[in-house]
Amino acid sequence: MSNEPIALREALASFDALWSPRIVTRVNDYDVRVAKVAGEHIWHVHEHTDEFFHVLEGELRIAVRDPDERSVTLPKGSVFTVPRGTEHKPYAPGGATILLFEPTGTLTVGDRHEEVPGHVDATTGHALS
């Protein structure tokens, strides 16, 4: 990890892949990741960790089943935490850029998930180039 300031705008400009987060830094045992998103992710669950979302640009929606299905809308500048064990599916009809906090090694498609389509990167995060 860098010991220099990281410009998020430059970090986001360094890649084009959707639903494929990049690790910008680490805080203790957590990754700080940025991602470009558009369309739908998949229904998935993180059994042992919460998932924090911060919308940098655009609008993100997150469908959650807690226990009834509902949708949370996050405009630019909003944050939302999906509690551990909650089935959820992020989607961004108009596209968005987001920042996430997750324990290092957390898989983007969770511990339980649907079949992973080709447009979703099942990863624990990629290093910035």
Q: What does the pLDDT profile of the chain (129 residues) look like in tens digits?
A: 678 899 999 999 999 999 999 999 999 999 999 999 999 999 999 999 999 999 999 999 999 998 899 999 999 999 999 999 999 999 999 999 999 999 999 999 988 877 888 899 999 999 998
The angle at the Cα of 64, spanning 114 to 8, to the nearest 5 degrees, equals: 85
Question: 120 in a domain, yes or no?
Answer: no
- Helix, strand and coil content of the chain, in percent to the nearest 5, comes to 5, 50, 45
Task: Specify the number of domains making up the chain.
Answer: 1
CA 107, chain centre distance (Å): 10
What is the per-residue pLDDT for 86?
96
* C-beta separation of 108 from 120 below 8 A: yes
What is the per-residue pLDDT for 112?
80
User: Residue 70 and residue 102: Cα distance in Å, rounded?
Assistant: 23
* C-beta separation of 93 from 29 below 8 A: no
| Domain containing residue 39 | 8-115
Question: 12 in a domain, yes or no?
Answer: yes
What is the per-residue pLDDT for 62?
98
The CATH number of whichever domain residue 57 belongs to comes to 2.60.120.10
pTM of the model: 0.93
* C-beta separation of 121 from 19 below 8 A: yes
